Amino acid sequence: MEILTREERGFTVVSVSGRLDAGTASDLEKDCANLINKGGTKLILELSALEYVSSAGLRSVLAVAKKLKAAGGGLSLCGLTGLVQEVFSIAGFDSFLPVYETVEKVVEKG
């Protein structure tokens, strides 16, 4: 798994590629916690290069979303494809997290 972060018009964009699984999920949670502590409370997880996610990955995403909510911010997801889209949908995460096609669409909406 590789995590790249950037700022885009007030949003913190976290691009995750590779595999978000039992071996890597805690790294994402830690990185996001650091970003939130530094004030990045409008966070976008950009997952177009993510190939695989398991329940361990879902748990991290849920923890990050709860932390953001508590901090008065929020989490958006974008770029879901293939198995990743299927897993997020089966788990019902697309019902409590906003999902967009691209980062641009999240930013446009503000």
Partner 1 sequence: MTESMVERVFVAKVESIPLVAEFVTEQAEQAGLTAKRLMQLALVIEEAVINICNYAYEVPPGEVTVRIHTDAGRFVMEFEDGGVPFDPLTVAEPDIKLSLEEREAGGLGIFLIRRMTDEVHYRRVNGRNILSVAINTP
| 83 closest CA partner among 20, 38, 41 | 20
Q: How many CB atoms lie within 10 A of CB 34?
A: 11
Nearer to partner 1 by Cβ, of 1 and 59: the residue is 59
Q: What count of residues does the chain have?
A: 110
Q: Is 43 in the site for partner 1 (CB under 8 A)?
A: no
Nearer to partner 1 by Cβ, of 96 and 102: the residue is 96
Nearer to partner 1 by Cβ, of 12 and 60: the residue is 60
Query: Residue 1 Cβ, how far from partner 1 at the closest point, in Å?
Result: 13
Q: Residue type for 47, please?
A: L
Give, in order, the Cα–Cα distances in Å from 45 to each of 9, 33.
15, 13
Q: H or E element: which one contains 6?
A: strand 2-8
Window 52-91: contact mask with partner 1 (x via CB under 8 A): x-xxx-xx--xx-xx--x------------xx--xx--xx
Q: Is 39 in the site for partner 1 (CB under 8 A)?
A: no
